[in-house]
Chain A
Amino acid sequence: MSAYVNTQAVAPDTTVPKSQPAIRFTDLRSSGEPFAWILGGALALGCIMIVSFLAMVFWNGATTFVPKEIQVVTMSNGAMTAGEATRTELYRPQVLDFQKLTPTQQNIITENDGFASRTLYRVGNFDIYNEDYRWISDFEVTKIEAPKDILLAERVEWGPLIGTLKSITVDGEIILLNSVNDKRFANIHDVSRERRERMSEIEKDEIGGINHQIEQLRLNVRRVELAEGLNSEAFAKAQMTLEAQVGGLQEKYKKLADEVLQLRDLNKRNTATFVEIGRQEKIVQMDALVRIYPANDLDVFGAIGVYLSRWWEFVSDEPREANTEGGILPAIFGTAAMTLMMVVAVAPFGIITALYLREYAKQGRLVSFVRISVNNLAGVPSIVYGVFGLGFFAYVLGGSIDQLFYPERLPNPTFGTGGLLWASLTLALLTVPVVIVATEEALSAVPRSMREGSLACGASKWQTIKYIVLPRALPGIMTGIILAMARGAGEVAPLMLVGVVKLAPELPIDGFFPFVHLERSFMHLGFHIYDVGFQSRNAEAGKPMVFVTTMLLIGLIFALNITAIVVRNRLKQKFKGSQF
């Protein structure tokens, strides 16, 4: 190589004719394709965008539950504010506000091109202040402290409380106490929380069960009425059973309701009195405190404890406070159940269709047309599927099911409205093109020699498909199902029409016959993100939840995909030594 360069350097004009390119690394073209750089750059850009997006989601999601310091801000007018600093930004103060400032403050702002800095504090105490967040400009601040005794209490309603503890009341007896680390506080808090749990257990399971039984009896009467008529003997009999049993059930109901009332009264006697930073007192029932901690007096273990307990609540509990607090267990469950049901519906449907198209149908214009149509289906806006799902599945199919099997419940719909089953089927419809296309690809990739080998052994076409083609195509089919799953789990728009709701207190699985209730509406992580982020009372409070929920949704899809990929790779192992 260097010899060539030397020759050129000595006599460039005579030795190398003009038409022949010099063999020198003079430009990109000689060392490599410029297109390699362009294509690689595009890939790198895409990767950077995805990675930074994921990093943003995961960083914000992972830090949401970290207990933050509570700052007490003293302002120039003497007022004090306590809260968690959430973010800082520059803004341009309004002229009227600007004129009220002292000359020194005005000077600072003028030097800054008219911009001032301000911080958003999460002040809590919505019931006292009527606001969750408050902006404080830096020029108003005279002092920032972090007192050790200030507490953050998460409550079942009204959002967080920020203040100091003054006293607690145990069975009407006031005990002066200013630390939540005191054993007496912890004891009475635990007792109250347990009572509250017991109350919700009675209300939900036991009273719910009685209501369910009464409802079943009523439905039975109505069923008999529809079948036999009002004057029939059977109707009279059903009516009698209803009356005979309702009395006993109502008695039970009353007993349970009394128990709840009793517990509630007991809990009313255990309270805590807090003082917020503006010296106003607030009495909170002990059982209404979900979690309470001294934000500025936490050691590492205390902070980790708060962090983990918040996470545990998030993944194992029901939402409260218009979804901005509490957990999202119903949404996790709904998303996973819907995705799995979708796979159960879409996999056989897509595979059977593709098998017919590829293996049995005579390849011609009609099949090409069908294939193009299937591919085009993938481009239909998903909301259209939602409308179709609502119109066809819920109203037509579900309506007919109600007429046939649940006439006694009409006009209340059972299957005739959005629900888990219809949402899964709608998504299955939405993702079936993906499965069909992938399966067709996988089938056509099965070597001809394999099919011929099987047919030559005297296997029928179906035997060949069953023993040779399908097992061989399975990894490719799995890829299609994985893609369908990822698409389906991330879809929200059509679900809003066919069964996803903001709050579904009842899971689709419970203790009442038939235990699995596919007709029930459900919660979904994707919709939860939309709801918390854009439909809640306080967008600022919802923001961290959006990140955590997004993280969880990505995590869930990731977990589902990993499972499917592991299964696929196991299958692929089988064909490793194949010569084709």
Chain B
Amino acid sequence: MNTDVQSLTFTDTIYHVKRGGQGAVLEINNLDLWYEAAQALYNVTMQIEKGMVTAMIGPSGCGKSTLLRCINRMNDLIDGLRIKGEVRLNGEDIYTRGADVIALRKRMGMVFQKPNPFPMSIFENVIYPLRVDGVTDKTVLEETVERALKGSALWNEVKDRLQESALGMSGGQQQRLCIARAIAGDPEVLLMDEPCSALDPIATAKIEDLINELAGQYTIVIVTHNMQQAARVSNNTAFMYLGRLIEYGDTETIFQMPKSLRTQDYVTGRFG
């Protein structure tokens, strides 16, 4: 398989018409990225449509998580990482010199592969983004908790035990709590990095329902290696391979009429 892949030459990204219409929230332009000397992203250019769910698919190691982490600059934590190109949030370049990373992250929410609730009460977990902002008004905090937990379809399950430790919840509940935490700060973009990979099928189904519900309110970027999930939840899909964006367009086109042979092989399950 490896020799097959390498024998193929890379051409420019194939773009299809995307779903959307409210304009792009995020513009990624000619993004290159290196870990030390190894290049992980090659000349990625894509626009993420406002209010849409954008899925990033591709085999393991293709750079989809790396790309997602470029959007809220989580990659800054890694030593020896270098970036060329630009990422614009509503037109502002987030990698410009002196950009306020903390302010940037406050405008985004992120959900990780494994649920990572903090060792605090459910209440404290949800309001964490507000806490670090210095919000102390109790009514504001309580309203936020209710809104965020209702938004993440968790309110009915936990409303009576908000002061209990978040670590006592099931894995699926913990992940929905993390979603609640991510939307508590009312972000412009919600980033999800394989949010269901550590969950059982029932919990996964619940999260997918939740994504569908949240779809109208937030711009969501979701990384997944589950193609059915991408097909089920997303409006637009980007297929990445070996650090390159191969094909990007609305989900139906990508899954049913992909132009690239690699995309076709991947979505039909021939490799990956």
Q: Mark A439-469, 1 if CB is under 8 A from B, else 0.
A: 0000000010111111111111001000110
Query: Please, how many angstroms separate the alpha-carbon atoms of A279 and B154 in the complex?
Result: 94
Q: Chain A's nearest CB lies how many Å from the CB of B167?
A: 3
Q: Are B118 and A574 in contact (CB under 8 A)?
A: no
Q: Are A458 and B132 in contact (CB under 8 A)?
A: yes
**What A residues does B77 contact at CB under 8 A?**
451-452, 455
- Partner of A575 from the list B116, B167, B174, B191 (CB cut-off 8 Å) is B167
Q: Are B118 and A454 in contact (CB under 8 A)?
A: yes
Q: Are A453 and B112 in contact (CB under 8 A)?
A: yes
Q: Mark B27-49, 1 if CB is under 8 A from A, else 0.
A: 00000000000000000000000
**What B residues does A452 contact at CB under 8 A?**
74, 77, 110, 112, 116
A460 in contact with B74 given A452-B116, A577-B168 (CB within 8 Å): no
Q: Are B119 and A579 in contact (CB under 8 A)?
A: no
Which residues of B78-103 are within 8 A (CB) of A? 79, 102-103
**What A residues does B191 contact at CB under 8 A?**
456
Q: Are A579 and B115 in contact (CB under 8 A)?
A: yes
Least CB separation from B134: chain A residue: A463
Interface residues of A (CB under 8 A from B): 362-363, 447, 449-460, 463, 467-468, 471-472, 574-580
Query: Please, how many angstroms separate the alpha-carbon atoms of A577 and B131 in the complex?
Result: 23
Q: Are B79 and A363 in contact (CB under 8 A)?
A: yes
Residue B50 lies at the interface, judged by CB distance under 8 Å to chain A: no
Q: Mark B151-179, 1 if CB is under 8 A from A, else 0.
A: 00000000000000101110100100010
Pairs across A and B, CB under 8 Å, 5 listed: A450-B116, A453-B112, A455-B77, A456-B74, A468-B118
**What A residues does B79 contact at CB under 8 A?**
362-363
Q: Are B119 and A472 in contact (CB under 8 A)?
A: yes
A447 in contact with B116 given A456-B105, A458-B185, A578-B167 (CB within 8 Å): yes
**What A residues does B102 contact at CB under 8 A?**
458-460
**What B residues does A472 contact at CB under 8 A?**
119
Query: Please, how many angstroms separate the alpha-carbon atoms of A541 and B109 in the complex?
Result: 74
Q: Are B109 and A456 in contact (CB under 8 A)?
A: yes
Q: Chain B's nearest CB lies how many Å from the CB of A357?
A: 15
- Partner of A574 from the list B106, B115, B117, B165 (CB cut-off 8 Å) is B165
Least CB separation from B76: chain A residue: A455
Q: Mark B127-153, 1 if CB is under 8 A from A, else 0.
A: 011011100000000000000000000
A463 in contact with B115 given A456-B105, A458-B106 (CB within 8 Å): no
**What A residues does B174 contact at CB under 8 A?**
579
Q: Are A455 and B167 in contact (CB under 8 A)?
A: no
Q: Are A455 and B119 in contact (CB under 8 A)?
A: no
**What A residues does B178 contact at CB under 8 A?**
453
Residue B64 lies at the interface, judged by CB distance under 8 Å to chain A: no
Query: Please, how many angstroms separate the alpha-carbon atoms of A569 and B132 in the complex?
Result: 28
Q: Which 7 pairs of residues, A with B, have the shortest CB-CB distance?
A: A577-B167, A458-B106, A456-B110, A449-B116, A459-B132, A453-B116, A457-B129
Q: Chain A's nearest CB lies how many Å from the CB of B166?
A: 8
Chain B contact residues (Cβ within 8 angstroms of A): what range? 20 to 34
**What A residues does B72 contact at CB under 8 A?**
456
Query: Please, how many angstroms separate the alpha-carbon atoms of A463 and B178 in the complex?
Result: 18
Query: Please, how many angstroms separate the alpha-carbon atoms of A363 and B77 in the complex?
Result: 13
Residue B181 lies at the interface, judged by CB distance under 8 Å to chain A: yes
Least CB separation from B171: chain A residue: A579
Q: Chain B's nearest CB lies how many Å from the CB of A4?
A: 43
Residue B225 lies at the interface, judged by CB distance under 8 Å to chain A: no
Residue B16 lies at the interface, judged by CB distance under 8 Å to chain A: no
Least CB separation from A449: chain B residue: B116
**What B residues does A458 contact at CB under 8 A?**
102-103, 105-106, 129, 132-133, 185
Residue B262 lies at the interface, judged by CB distance under 8 Å to chain A: no
**What B residues does A455 contact at CB under 8 A?**
74, 77, 105
**What B residues does A579 contact at CB under 8 A?**
114-115, 167, 171, 174
Q: Are A577 and B185 in contact (CB under 8 A)?
A: no
**What A residues does B119 contact at CB under 8 A?**
471-472, 574-575, 578
Least CB separation from B131: chain A residue: A467
Q: Chain A's nearest CB lies how many Å from the CB of B58?
A: 22
Q: Chain B's nearest CB lies how many Å from the CB of A85?
A: 62
Least CB separation from B133: chain A residue: A458
Query: Please, how many angstroms separate the alpha-carbon atoms of A101 and B102 in the complex?
Result: 98
Q: Mark B185-221, 1 if CB is under 8 A from A, else 0.
A: 1000001000000000000000000000000000000
A577 in contact with B165 given A452-B116, A468-B118, A472-B119 (CB within 8 Å): yes
Query: Please, how many angstroms separate the alpha-carbon atoms of A74 and B117 in the complex?
Result: 83
Q: Are B74 and A457 in contact (CB under 8 A)?
A: no
Q: Are B116 and A467 in contact (CB under 8 A)?
A: no
Q: Are B185 and A457 in contact (CB under 8 A)?
A: yes
Q: Chain B's nearest CB lies how many Å from the CB of A317?
A: 48
Q: Are B105 and A457 in contact (CB under 8 A)?
A: yes
Least CB separation from B187: chain A residue: A458
Q: Other than A363-B79, A447-B116, A471-B119, give 20 A-B pairs with Cβ distance below 8 A.
A: A452-B74, A452-B77, A452-B110, A452-B116, A453-B110, A453-B112, A453-B118, A456-B74, A457-B105, A457-B132, A458-B185, A459-B132, A467-B131, A468-B118, A574-B119, A575-B119, A577-B169, A578-B167, A579-B174, A580-B114
